[in-house]
Every structure is written in structure tokens, then in C-alpha cells.
A and B are shown apart, each in its own frame.
Chain A
Amino acid sequence: MREITYRQALNEALSEEMERDQSVFLMGEDVAVYGGAYGVTLNLMQKFGEKRVRDTAISEAAIIGAGLGAAITGMRPVVEIMYIDFMGICLEQIGNQVAKIRYMFGGKTRVPLVIRTEGGAGRTLGAHHSQSLESWFIHVPGLKVIMPATPADAKGLLKSSIREDNPILFIEHKMLYNVKGPVPEGEYLLPIGKADVKRPGKDATVIAYSRMLYSTLEAAKRLAEDGIEVEVIDPRTLLPLDMETIAESVRKTHRAIIVEEDTKTGGTGAEIGMQIMENCFDELDAPVLRIAGADIPMPKSAVLEKLAIPDADRIYREIKSLVM
């Protein structure tokens, strides 16, 4: 199969859906002429015109609000918030308006809106451009939260998101844009809310998503050399969570580890871990383990930044001490 980057996969998904459906349009800061801060929307303005690929002012709240208004009146907007760190500026519009409007209106409207953003550390950009804030949003009923790790998942899930009649928060990772992987040619759709077993195993279940999938797979390879076979599951969608696939694995391995880049307290792992407790308590041979980001604002220093998030070494060590 051909290999393309995560960035190209996303670009293809946008391009194909815009070709397929005239009601799809893009809007955000620097998405048109510049092609997006990380180049995801490169050449789409040239292809589809300035009407359908729109540079906005620096107005995060209006980008979300206008996306919502367009979504409930016949369009399928894909809007971009450049960094997830900027979400605080438009959190009211996402949390109060986008996520709730269908319920508040008694189900009498649909919200086919995709909010693309990216997060994560790795570029030493400091505390305002490096956060992993997904746990803020899994706390909001009405949203669906997707965080793909591989190019294929990025393409298949973005295409499905654009066709979905519910609001989607689609969180990319800044360190994955150049990662290459096999992506099927042509129409490729993946189900939202379905986890994927990225590596089968029997000794422990490791749940890892976004960039942490890669560090976890590396750790899993080293563990295998030590005779420990872990099953690595990427939920891909954090809300709704595919607990069925996770629970099925935990019933087989009797151990569960969550690897997450976000800060530990009140993080995504807290939710996934608790759901494992609720669903598989009697199956567990050890407490659920969280390998998570440090509870600190992300520091600038490359040395400190590296210490702030899990890496393959740490994942390897912590899993090994749990399983042995």
C-alpha cells in the first residue's frame, strides 16, 4: 500500500469531502492563503476557491459561533482552531452552544460541524502551545472527541466526521504531521466510536492514543523481547469511548495501563481507568496504572519538556514493573 503522511492524509480527506459535497467549507485562522499553521489545508484554496476556504480574523469565538450557525442552516463547516491551547477563548461557544443546541431544542436540529485543532508537546513551544486538553471536552455531553494517531485513521475518521450530523472535536497532534503510514487509496471511511487493537497481546492491556500510541508501540516491542506481550489498544475516539473493545481485552489480560500525554489529575486516563473499574473490577489482577503527563504548565526547556510527558523508556519501565 502507498504511504503518505498524516498531514497529507488529512488534506486528502478534506479535499475529497469538499469535492463530494458542495456544502462542506473550511474556515479558520490562516487556513487559506497560508494553508494552515501546520500545512493541513495547503492548496485547498487554490483548488476550491476563497469562498469555500476562508481565512478569518483572529476571532476564535466567532469562528465557532459562525460554524454553528452555518451548520444548523444547511452547511457542513469544518473550522480550525490553530492550537488547542486557544480553546479557552471559544470554550463558551463549544461547551454551551455547539454541544447543547440539539438537546436544548428538543432534538429539532442537527449540528454537522467539525472543529479541527491540534495539541500536544514536542516543539518546545512552552505553556500556551503545547497542551493536551482533550479531557476538558470529554466532559461535555453532545460533543464527540476524536484523536487519531495514524495517517490512515486520520483520513478515515476525518471523512466520517465530515459526514456526521453531530459536532465533532477532531484533535490532531503537532508531532504527527510528518509521520508516514499506509493509507488506502480512494474512498476510506472509519466508524466513529470504534477502538482499534494496534498490537495483540495477552499479558496486559495498554490503552494509548494520539502521539502516545507510538511511544507505547515502541515500549511494547521492547517488552516483547523480555517475554511480555502487551495488547495495545487505540480508542481513536475518546467520546464516546469504545469500552466494549477495552473491556474485552482486559478480561483476557487482567491488567490495564493507560498512557496519556495530558496532565494526570482529572485527565482522560482518570475517566478510562474508572470505566475499567466499573466494567472489569473482578477481572483485574493489579490496580489500573496511569502513565501520564506531569501536573505542570508545559515548560519551554527541551530537557524539561521531555520529562513532562511519557516516553518509550518510561512506559517500558512502568509496564514491566506492573506485569513482573
Chain B
Amino acid sequence: MTIYTMTIITKNEARHLLKQMMQIRQFEDAIMDLMARNIAEGGSHLYAGEEACAVGAMAAIRKDDYITSTHRGHGHAIAKGGSLPELMAEILGKETGVCKGKGGSLHLADVSKGNLGANGIVGGSIGIATGAGLSIQLRGADQIVLCFFGDGATNTGLFHESLNMAGKWKLPVVFICENNLYGMSVSVERACAVNDLTKKAAPYNMPAECCDGMDVLAVKDTVAKYAALARKGDGPAFIVCNTYRYYGHSRSDPRIYRTKEEEKSWRDRDCIMAFGRKMQEQTVLTEKEVADLEKEVTAELEAAVDFAIKSPDPKPEELYRDVYFEM
């Protein structure tokens, strides 16, 4: 049970945070439904359960900041300002998708919104985030980068190479490990030489902190603290958000590596329920306002799904387009 402290938060901000978390949850639920109906083909790694991480982190940065995302990236794309219809159309591989149907779930990206992309390779975008940080530093800009990845990625070589580079050069990158306790099926306990993942950043000359990834305000506060340091040139940081993926790794995951009790214990701390309840307790939002928000999001998702389903497939002539920029 999370013990919340009193936080000063405006009605608008509470609505924004709650709404984004609801959008992500309903987006993922809609994909589950579309997969069950065989409308969504291929794989999808769903973010349901982890919403507080993306929403809290994104609430702590500016629009012109960059992010890199992961194979479980729908939440990051939505929280970074992606359009629900365009994202849903991309999941279905449609012409109207944010990547014209060429990326899909694993490659959601919108460079115009600072989202440098989800990634099909675990840990594959950590170098890209580091390079975006180097670019910011070389340009003398005051942007920062949030680099999202999971617990599994902390065991890859590129993670260590990149954190070393960012630590050495004091790059403005906040590395955010969403620790949902499992790689595909192998737990942190079974895969990592240390269970405390904050220790992974220890050799790289940057602060590391753990926070409750089920508490949107805790994530926001932690990210805000290190984002501010990075922005003023104090270099990178490493944050571990403890969280949980409700649907397991992917559609075909039987979840035999974890128990029903464990799943329930995380669902009991659900980030959307907890935050909605807290905002009501603190009289920031009324019960009706929360319920109305839910309905508003449901209508948005219905429209997004409808748009995606009705959108045309990419035209055959798109096949060879976009491989190269025509000079």
C-alpha cells in the first residue's frame, strides 16, 4: 500500500495526469480487444500497469525535450504528445499511422514531437539517447533527453557503454529504467548479479535513485529533480521506477513464471485507481469529474480505433519509398 503525502497539485494538472494514464490504459485494452478479434496482427508489448512511469516522467520535461523508448513503447508515445488515432493506425499498419504503417508497435516514433522512437531491440535505443544528449551539448541547447528502457536492458553491453559515455562527458540524459521485474520471462532476481538495479549506474559517475513507479507524482518529482540537474549542465542520472506489466511480456505469454498472488498485489496498487482516489481525498477532483474523464477517454479511444480500422492500408508504391532520402 502506497502511503501518499499531501501534494499541492492543481485541478488542471491532476486532470492531465489522470487523463493520460487513462488514455494509455484504454489504448492497451483496446489493442488486447483488437488482437482477440484478429484485427490487430503481429505482436504488441502492452504498457498497462506502467502508466505512471511514462506520464509522470513526461510531466517533468518540456515539449522540446527528447525521449527514446522501448519495445513496450505505446505509453511513452502517448505521454510525449502522440495523437491517439495516428498511433492506433500505426499499430494496425495503416497508411495514416504516425510512421505511415512502416514501423508498427515496435517502432512508434514521432521526431517532430521529440520521440526518437520505440525499439525492437532491448536496449537498442540507449546509444541513440546518448547521442541526442551529445548533440544538445554540442549545439549549446538547454534541452534534455529521457532514455527509457527496462530491467532487461541493464544487462546489455550498449547500456554500459552508453552510461559510461554519458557519465564521462556529462551529457544531459536521464536514464529511466522501468523495472517491471522480468525480461521476457526471466526475473531480475534470476538474471542480474545485483537485485538493486540502482547499483548498475555506480561506476558511471552519476546519481542513481529508485522511485515508486506506481505513483505518478513520485515519478514526476524524481524525474523533475534530475531533469533540472541535467538541464543546467550537471550531467546524467539514473532512475529506477519499480512497476509491473499487467499483461505479461506479449500476447502469447502464459505468465507461468509468476503467481496470481503477485499479479494481484500489483493490481491492488494500480496507478490510475490510486491517483484518482488520492485526488478525490484531497478534493482536487470530484468523483464525477473522475468518472467524466474516464468517459471522455473512452470516447477518444473509440474514435481512434474507428479511425485506425477505417484507414486505408499503405499503397503498394510505398514499398520502396523512404529507404533513402533522395538528395
Contact = CB atoms under 8 A, between A and B. Distances in A.
Interface of A: 25, 51-52, 56-57, 59, 61-62, 64-75, 77, 92-93, 96-97, 101-111, 141-142, 144, 164-166, 192
B116 interface: yes
A31 B135 CA distance: 19
B126 A105 contact: no
Contacts, number: 146
B158 interface: yes
A112 to B, nearest CB: 9
Nearest to B107: A104
Interface stretch (B49-57, B302-310, B319-327): B319-327
6 contacts: A66-B131, A72-B132, A73-B116, A74-B135, A77-B131, A106-B103
Given A57-B165, A69-B132, A97-B124, A103 B323 contact: yes
B232 interface: no
A73 B136 contact: yes
B135 to A, nearest CB: 4
A72 B134 CA distance: 12
Contacts of B193: none
A166 B322 CA distance: 11
B100 to A, nearest CB: 3
A111 B107 CA distance: 16
B161 A57 contact: yes
B14 to A, nearest CB: 33
A66 B162 contact: yes
Contacts of A107: 100, 321-322, 325
A62 B162 contact: yes
A71 B138 contact: no
Contact of B109 (A59, A105, A141): A105
Contacts of B136: 73
Contact of B324 (A59, A71, A72, A102): A102
Given A57-B161, A105-B111, A142-B323, 7 more contacts: A69-B128, A69-B130, A73-B131, A105-B109, A106-B102, A108-B109, A141-B323
B110 A70 contact: no
B133 interface: yes
B311 to A, nearest CB: 14
